[in-house]
Amino acid sequence: MPTADDTRSRPHATRVTIRAVAEHAGVSRQTVSNALNAPDRLSPGTLERVRRSVTALGYRPDHAARALTSRRSGLIGIRVGSTAHRTAAHPDRLLHELVAAARPYGYRFLAFDAPYGDDAAEIAAYDELLAAGDVDAVLVADTHPGDTRPAWLAVRGAPFVAHGRPWGDPDAGHRWVDVDGALGVRLAVEHLAERGHRRIGFVGWPADGAGGDARR
């Protein structure tokens, strides 16, 4: 049985530091810090070089120390509600990709629950998380016509990005990313038509003023 002395004599795993990442990537410590906290300040080539070093060395930010010095949590909030109304494969894949993309920058995701389609409940969750400093930013998913969440976050001054376009609000100034469902359907129909098909059926989302309409 191991004794207390045996336990004390075991070497502790050496924590990879920003200095080690900088030396491995051939850049300054400030450049590594920028890669983790302000990647927009770096050229794509430099950012990729630092990211490769982070992965190769297995660097992990000290979240506790960073939170004390920067007053930032290193967490991004994301709603994870019931998927009973829809196929679960898409949000599951999205969440995995988001987690993988955020990791090299020292960010993780904090999942919280709110009823799907209930903007007021989700905004209440945002308010609680942001006020407590539990998250630095949020991801707004499943945007829809009349969505009140982006405007609330903008007024609050909270960093966010939307997964879904600002339906019915072409002048919205926030950042968003979305798939081009209309283009996808058009390409599929053209592909079938080029092969001589003339009676093409459509099985998709119901008309909703958003993604469902765009695909029809």
Domain ranges of the chain: 18-61, 72-177, 181-215
Q: What is the pLDDT of residue 64?
A: 56
Percent of the residues in the chain that have a pLDDT greater than 70, as a whole number:
80
Model confidence pLDDT, tens digit, residues 74-122: 899 999 866 555 555 556 788 888 888 888 777 889 999 888 889 999 9
- Which band of pLDDT confidence, cut at 50, 70 and 90, is reported for residue 7? very low
Do 72-177 and 18-61 have the same topology in CATH? no
Model confidence pLDDT, tens digit, residues 66-75: 655 556 788 9
Place of tokens 């993309």: 101
The per-residue pLDDT of the chain, averaged, comes to 82
Q: What is the pLDDT of residue 92?
A: 75
pTM check: above 0.75: no
Q: What is the pLDDT of residue 130?
A: 92
Model confidence pLDDT, tens digit, residues 117-169: 899 999 999 999 999 888 999 999 889 889 999 999 999 999 999 998 888 88
CATH fold group of domain 72-177: Rossmann fold (3.40.50)
Q: Domain 18-61 maps to which CATH number in 3.30.450.20, 3.10.180.10, 3.30.413.10, 1.10.260.40?
A: 1.10.260.40
